[in-house]
Structure 1
Amino acid sequence: MNRRKFLKWSGIGALTMLAGGTFASRSLAANRYYDGPVSDHFDGTHFFNPNGEEPNSFFELMRWQFGGGRAAWPADWPSPFPAAVPEARVEGDRLVVTMVGHAALLIQTAGLNILTDPVWSDRVSPFSFAGPKRVNPPGITLADLPKIDVVLVTHNHYDHLDLATLKALSERDNCLIFTPLGNDRIMGPTVGEGRITTMDWGGSTPLSAGVTLHCEPCHHWSARGLGDRRMALWSAFLIETPGGKIYHIGDTGFHQGINYRAIREKHGAIRLANLPFGAYEPRWFMRPQHQNPHEAVQGMAASGAAYVAGHHWGTFRLTNEGVDEPLAALETALDAAGIARTRFRALRPGEVFEVPLATT
C-alpha cells in the first residue's frame, strides 16, 4: 500500500476509533476496563443505552466513508476572539464559561475551576500523523490557564479523552479527575489512579462546600480501538452550585428527548446547559450518537435550561457538514422555536460567556 493510500486509511481508522471503534464487532472477550455487577445499563461485559440503539456496523461505516457528500473544511478557521486570559477564580454565584475548543470548556463559579473534556493536542486520534486535526488553536493557552481543581471527562473517544492533556494538567495542578466507570483503566497509567474518581449513572459526590457533582445518562457509546466497544461507560454531568445548576453533555444522540426530560424531572431548574450541536451528518449514520442543531434546541427546551453554551463544532472535522453549517442550522432552529439567539451561545475558541442568573 502506498503512502497516500495508507494515510487515507489511517485517517479513516482514526475517525473510526474516535467514533467508537466500528471496526470491532461485538467483542466476546471479558471486559478489560470494568468488572462490576449487572445493572439496567451494564450486562456484565458491555454497557448499553436502555431502550436505545447500538453503534453502527463496519459495513455502515464503509457506506458512509465512501458515500461522498463530505464538505471541504479550510485548513485554518481562526476564531474571531483572541486567546482568553481567564480570572484566577470566580467567586459566589457568578458563572463564567470560556471556550477552549470542541467540548473543552473552562467553567468558573463558587471559587472552583472546572474543565470539561480537555483537549490541547493538535489531533484527536490514536496517531500523531493522521486523523482529525484542529483548524484553530485552543482558546486558552496552557500557560494562561488558571489552576484547575476538577476535570470532567465524559467518555473515552479521542476528541474527549486526551491523555497528553490530562498528563500535563495532572502534573501541573494535581487536579481531581471525574469520569464514568472503566475510564480510570485508560487514564491511570498516564496520570496515576489516585486522583481519578469513577462514577456510575445516578451517582453523586461533593466537590466543595455547596457544590455537588452528579453523573447522569446520555445516549452514546465508547471505544478507544479494536475490541473494546462499550467496555467503559459514557455519561453527562450535572454540577449543583449555590448559583444554579450546570448540565454538561460531551456527546449524545437526542434519544427522543428521554434524558433531557429526566434531568429536568430529577434536578429542576438548570441555569446553564453545555450542549453539543455539531458533527451530525449524515443523519442516517450519526443520529443515534450525535444530535443536530434542531435536536439541541429541543433538548434545551425539554431540560428547561435558561442558557446554553453550544459546543462540539468548528474545531475538528469529524463528519460531513461544512465548518459553519452547524451555526446556520442552529440559528434557524432557534428562530423557529422562538428562542432568543443570545440564550444559546455557539461558542468559538477564546469566547467568554458570563452567564446571567436565571430568573424564574
Structure 2
Amino acid sequence: MAGTLREGPFEGPLEDALAGGPGSALRLYWLGQAGFVIDIAGRRLVVDPYLSDSLATKYRGTPYPHVRMMPAPIAPAALTHVDFVLCTHAHTDHMDPGTLPGLFAANPAAELIAPRAVRHAALERSGLDAARIRLVDAGERIALSAGLHVTPTRAAHETLERDEAGNHRFLGYGIAAAGVTLWHAGDTVPFDGQVGEVEPLRPDIALLPVNGRRPELSERGIAGNLTLREAVALARSVGASAMIAHHYGLFAFNTADPEEIDSTAKSTDDPAVSRARPAIAFEWAPG
C-alpha cells in the first residue's frame, strides 16, 4: 500500500501516550533494543519487550555486564490495552522473565505468540498457562482478529537453527492489516532465501536490527545481526518503502553509532530510513 511513514515527538511519558488504547491508524513506539508497541487496526501488539534489568543482574561482574545505556521507557505493569505479545526468540532481551509476568498481569486477556521451538521458555518466562500461548513456526499465517494477520518468517541469528522437530528457533513476523504490512525481522543476518521468503509479504515498513556482529562477541555466544548497510539493502530488496533501524543503544558492548544511522537516513531515500528513538511515535499515512 502506498504511503509515508511519519515520525514526531510526543509529550510526557510513554505511559500517557499509550493510555487511550489503540486506534485504527498504524502507530509504532520504540521500547528499546528490538522492542516495539504496534497499534494497528484497533489492536495493540507488543514485540520483544525488555523492560527490566534482568540481564544486568545475570551478568553482573562479567566482561559484558549488560548495564542499560537508556532507561526502560515504561514499567511492564504500565503497558496496558495490550492484545498480543510477540517474542521472536528466547534470548532474554527478547523474551524477558523480568517483563512478561508483569505485562500479562496488567493485561489478563493478552496472548503470547512465540516460536514453537522455544515452548518451554515461553511457558516458564511468561508465567502463562498454555491456553494463552500460540506457538508458531515460519510460514504459518495466523489470524489475530478480523483483518489482522501475522506471518512468521525465518531468522538467522547468526545461523538458521532448528529444534529436534524441525521448528525454527529464531523468527521474524510480518504483520498485516488495513492494507499495510510491516515486517519485524527478529534478530537476523542475511541468508540465502531470505528475500524470496519475505518479498511476497509485500512489506511497506521493515523493522531491522543494525548492531552488526563482531567475532569476539560471537566467540562468546553473543550472536550478531545485520550491519546498517546490510539492513538498508535488505529493506530495499524486499520492497519496503520505509525502514526503522533498531537494536542499538542499550548495551555499550553491542550497539551501533546513532550518528551513522542518521547520516545514512539523510542520504538514503529508497527505502526511507528512520532511527528508532525514545519519545518518538511513528505513524503510517496512506497516500
Same fold (TM over 0.5): yes
Question: What is the alpha-carbon distance in structure 1 between the residues aligned to residue 196 and residue 130 of structure 2?
Answer: 34
- Bigger drift between 206-215 and 181-190 goes to 181-190
Pairwise CA distance, 1:350: 2.7
Q: Is the 8 A contact 2:209 2:247 kept in 1?
A: yes
Count of residues in Structure 1 that have an aligned counterpart in Structure 2: 264
Question: What is the alpha-carbon distance in structure 1 between the residues aligned to residue 60 and residue 216 of structure 2?
Answer: 29
Partner of 1:43: none
Aligned: 1:249 with 2:185:
yes
Q: Is the 8 A contact 1:83 1:349 kept in 2?
A: no
**Cα distance change of structure 1 residues 167 and 272 upon mapping to structure 2, 3 Å threshold:** same
Partner of 2:139: 202
Pairwise CA distance, 1:271: 2.2
Larger radius of gyration: 1
**Cα distance change of structure 1 residues 125 and 279 upon mapping to structure 2, 3 Å threshold:** farther
What is the aligned counterpart of 2:42 among 97, 104, 111? 111
Partner of 2:154: 217
Q: AA paired with 1:350?
A: A
Q: Is the 8 A contact 2:77 2:105 kept in 1?
A: no
Please list the CA deviations of residues 129-151 of structure 1 after superposition, one character each: whole Å capped at 9, or x if unmatched.
Answer: 45312121122344542321100
Q: Is the 8 A contact 2:232 2:243 kept in 1?
A: no
Partner of 2:6: none
Q: AA paired with 2:206?
A: A
Q: Is the 8 A contact 2:149 2:177 kept in 1?
A: yes
Please list the CA deviations of residues 275-298 of structure 1 after superposition, one character each: whole Å capped at 9, or x if unmatched.
Answer: 111253459959984111011111
Partner of 2:275: 346
Aligned: 1:138 with 2:100:
no
**Cα distance change of structure 1 residues 102 and 83 upon mapping to structure 2, 3 Å threshold:** farther
- Secondary structure of the residue aligned to 1:182 is helix
- Secondary structure of the residue aligned to 1:255 is coil
Pairwise CA distance, 1:337: 4.8
**Cα distance change of structure 1 residues 245 and 338 upon mapping to structure 2, 3 Å threshold:** closer
Pairwise CA distance, 1:164: 2.1
Pairwise CA distance, 1:102: 0.8
Aligned: 1:163 with 2:76:
no
What is the aligned counterpart of 2:211 among 263, 278, 281? 278
Q: Counting strand residues as a fraction of each chain, which structure ranks higher?
A: 2
What is the aligned counterpart of 2:198 among 263, 266, 287? 263
Identical residues among aligned pairs (%): 23
TM-score of the two chains, using structure 1 as the length reference: 0.65
Q: AA paired with 1:330?
A: I
Q: AA paired with 2:141?
A: S
Q: Is the 8 A contact 2:155 2:170 kept in 1?
A: yes
Pairwise CA distance, 1:310: 1.8
Question: What is the alpha-carbon distance in structure 2 between the residues aligned to residue 126 and residue 194 of structure 1?
Answer: 31
Aligned: 1:91 with 2:32:
no
Q: Is the 8 A contact 2:265 2:274 kept in 1?
A: no
Pairwise CA distance, 1:104: 1.0
What stretches of structure 2 of length at least 5 have no aligned partner?
1-8
Q: Is the 8 A contact 1:98 1:106 kept in 2?
A: yes
Pairwise CA distance, 1:274: 1.2
Please list the CA deviations of residues 86-142 of structure 1 after superposition, one character each: whole Å capped at 9, or x if unmatched.
Answer: 2433333x1110111111110001110000001111243671745312121122344
Q: Is the 8 A contact 1:81 1:348 kept in 2?
A: no
Partner of 2:238: 303
Q: Is the 8 A contact 1:300 1:308 kept in 2?
A: yes
TM-score of the two chains, using structure 2 as the length reference: 0.80
**Cα distance change of structure 1 residues 346 and 179 upon mapping to structure 2, 3 Å threshold:** same
Q: AA paired with 2:32?
A: G
Pairwise CA distance, 1:193: 2.1
**Cα distance change of structure 1 residues 118 and 284 upon mapping to structure 2, 3 Å threshold:** closer
Q: AA paired with 2:100?
A: L
Q: Is the 8 A contact 1:90 1:109 kept in 2?
A: yes
- Secondary structure of the residue aligned to 2:58 is coil
Pairwise CA distance, 1:242: 1.1
Q: Is the 8 A contact 2:77 2:103 kept in 1?
A: no
Question: What is the alpha-carbon distance in structure 2 between the residues aligned to residue 197 and residue 104 of structure 1?
Answer: 19
Question: What is the alpha-carbon distance in structure 1 between the residues aligned to residue 45 and residue 36 of structure 2?
Answer: 8
Partner of 1:73: none
Q: Is the 8 A contact 2:77 2:106 kept in 1?
A: no
